[in-house]
Amino acid sequence: MKVGFDNKKYVKIQSKKIRERFKLFDKLYLEVGGKLFDDSHAARILPGFKNDVKISMFKELKKDLEIIFCINAGDIERNKTRGEYGITYDQEIIKLINNSKSLGFSVNSVVITLYKNQMSVDKFIKKLNRNGIKTYIHTFTKGYPTDVETIVSEEGYGANPYIETTKKLILVNAPGPGSGKLATCLSQIYHENLRGVNAGYAKFETFPVWNLPLKHPVNLAYEAATADLKDVNMIDPFHLEKYGETAVNYNRDIETFPILKAILNRVMKKDIYFSPTDMGVNMVGFCITNNDVVEEASKKEIVRRYYNELNNYKMGLCDEDTYKKIKLLMNELNIDENYLDVIKPALEKKEKENGTPVIAMKVNRKIITGKQTDLLTPAGTVVLNAIKYLSKIPDDIYLLSPSVLEPMLKLKKEMNSGNRLTLPEVLTALSICSVTNPLAAKAMACLTKLNNSDAHATYIVTNGDKRALKELKINLTCENEFMGEKI
């Protein structure tokens, strides 16, 4: 993989920037946008960016920080799901807490925002409390967003419970957008300043990148990733007016900045920031080492997002304006649906096989295909074919022993769970066979070499196969149809 981003430099200068910011206050509430763990979007569009770089960075500040997680009560009630993992937001909160604690980070609490006495939310609060996690409830802030005097009063932020924190740096994170991170930060700053604590606010958000051009593919990839939120990148007018410097931000931050500035001024008795860009501590743009590589990666990501939203539309998860917006971004960059090298080969293989479902994968510049067979799903077939290619095992050599396959297939039949092995089942069978078969062990050792490979399916991949491909870090896109058009 060609590298276009200096991860070591990023850790160094981003950590320094955060330290500089929290030295300005007795206590800093840092809103962390995007993913705290496993930032796969950034890793895909900035080759060289490590998925866990944020955590690596905060490890250097671990003694000085604690974490507050936020979740919108409405997202719990609606069972809102994280697309990457197929888990709900409340499950993601549990995952975030466990991951943070396992790395030695101090988790303060979970804030339930926009609470409206939902029964499902009450059950989630009980679950957290019974597992030793403190929870706080925030309702709608009276006066928001226009009545600053009411917002910054006992009726507004004062109505929220004060969250006791002991560290100098408090990270405020959430499983997704609209979770109430900003409101939680501002509420805490209000309470802290009432107590005589010089508490401040800053924002750590990777995208859009303020010092890249407005229409740079990296920034357009952010628009594609947030097409469902209708985010639009814009030149920050406040930054331009104050400093005479062009900076990129996005519509929500720019639209809310005047009210945010007024609130901060009312709480802190002075202006701290003069533009939305001022609030950020984002040094990503200074660490791009090969712009061509990054632009190419970003274009590919936009196409992936297009296919993803097409699939979501098919499944009733978004409106058509979401994928159409991404199509407009593709038009701006003069790219189309066939931009990924794996798409045409997959469709051509399907046609050659008389409509049999197929997945094509690009491995070391070679296109590997796998079709549905009597025994395996396309995902299982293509992964086996790919690792055989990487380990230079001839196609006619079988890696899976009949003595292992037969009882697995028999059990599936008895349980009415299909008559083909899925990718997770194939990997289980391969691991069993590797104990006695050196070739199976050799092939299995190549699984990690599939990381960051592109793959395209001629159908919407679901359930176990989809999750297993993601766990192998394979970038999957799918045609906009169910297998055999069965819903």
Q: What is the pLDDT of residues 156-184, one digit of tens each?
A: 999 999 999 999 999 999 998 889 999 99
Please answer whether residues 189 and 201 qualify as being in contact, where contact means their C-beta atoms are separated by less than 8 angstroms: yes
| pLDDT exceeds 90 at position 30 | yes
Domain count, the chain: 2
Tens of pLDDT, residues 423-468:
999 999 999 999 999 999 999 999 999 999 999 999 999 888 999 9
Per-residue DSSP letters for 108-124? EEEEEES----HHHHHH
Q: Is the pLDDT of residue 81 over 80?
A: no
List, for residues 204-235, the tens digit of each pLDDT value. Answer: 989 999 999 999 999 999 999 999 888 999 99
Per-residue pLDDT band at 85 (split at 50, 70, 90):
low
Q: Give tens-digit pLDDT for 245-254.
A: 999 999 989 9
The pLDDT of residue 418 = 83
Decide if pLDDT at 75 tops 70.
Answer: yes
The pair of structure tokens assigned to 61 is 């500040």
301 located within any domain? no
Burial class of 380 by CB neighbour count within 10 A (0 to 12, 13 to 18, 19+): buried
Quote the pLDDT of residue 200.
92
Residues 6+ apart with CB under 8 A from 133: 97, 107, 109, 110
Residue 132 clears pLDDT 90, i.e. is over it: yes
What's the rounded Cα separation, in Å, for the pair 468 and 458? 17
Same domain? For 277 and 344 the reply is no
Do residues 277 and 348 share a domain?
Answer: no
- The greatest distance separating any two alpha carbons of the chain, rounded to the nearest whole angstrom, comes to 76
Bridging pattern class, strands 199-204 and 233-235? unpaired
> What's the average model confidence in pLDDT over 2-22?
92
Strand order in the sheet with 199-204: 135-137, 106-113, 65-72, 169-173, 27-32, 199-204
Which conformational region is residue 383 in: left (phi greater than 0), alpha (psi within -120 to 50 degrees), or beta?
alpha
- Report yes or no on 311 lying in a domain: no
* Same domain (yes/no): 53, 182: yes
Residue 306 domain-assigned (yes or no): no
Pairwise CA distance, residues 387 & 374, whole Å: 20
Looking at the structure, do residues 58 and 171 belong to the same domain, yes or no?
A: yes
Rounded Cα distance, 262 and 259, in Å: 5
- Structural domain for 344, as ranges: 340-485
For residue 485, the model assigns a pLDDT of 57
Residues 6+ apart with CB under 8 A from 159: 139, 141, 142
CATH of the domain at 145: 3.10.630.10
Q: Of the residues 225, 257, 287, which one is the last residue of a structural domain?
A: 287
Residue 57 carries which DSSP code? H
Mean pLDDT for the stretch of residues 371-383:
96
Which of 287, 321, 351 corresponds to the end of one domain?
Answer: 287
Q: Compute the distance between CA of residue 230 and CA of residue 232 in angstroms, rounded to an integer.
A: 6
Q: From 287, 303, 320, give the residue that closes a domain.
A: 287
* Same domain flag for 126 and 213: yes
The dihedrals phi and psi of 463, each to the nearest 5 degrees, come to 50, -130
403, pLDDT greater than 60: yes
CATH number (domain holding residue 354):
3.40.140.40
Residue type, 453: S
Whether residue 231 is found in the same domain as residue 347? no
pLDDT at 481 over 80: yes
The kind and range of the H/E element at 302 are helix 291-314
Q: Is the domain of 258 the same as that of 156?
A: yes
The pLDDT value recorded for residue 104 is 94
Task: Give the pLDDT confidence score for residue 463 in this predicted structure.
Answer: 83
Mean pLDDT score of the chain: 93
Between the alpha carbon of residue 220 and those of residues 50, 135, 206, the distances in Å are 21, 37, 13
Q: pLDDT tens, 457-479?
A: 999 998 889 999 999 999 999 99
The answer to whether residues 441 and 455 touch, using CB atoms and an 8 Å cutoff, is no
Could you tell me if residue 18 is inside a domain? yes
User: In this structure, are 274 and 362 located in the same domain?
Assistant: no
282 and 362, same domain (yes or no): no
The backbone torsions φ and ψ at residue 31, rounded to the nearest 5 degrees and listed phi first, read -75, 120
Residue showing tokens 């080759």:
47
Contact 306/226 with Cβ under 8 angstroms? no
Name the band, by pLDDT with cuts 50, 70 and 90, for residue 486: low
Q: 80 with 163, same domain? A: yes
User: Are 41 and 168 part of one and the same domain?
Assistant: yes
Task: Say whether both 344 and 455 belong to one domain.
Answer: yes
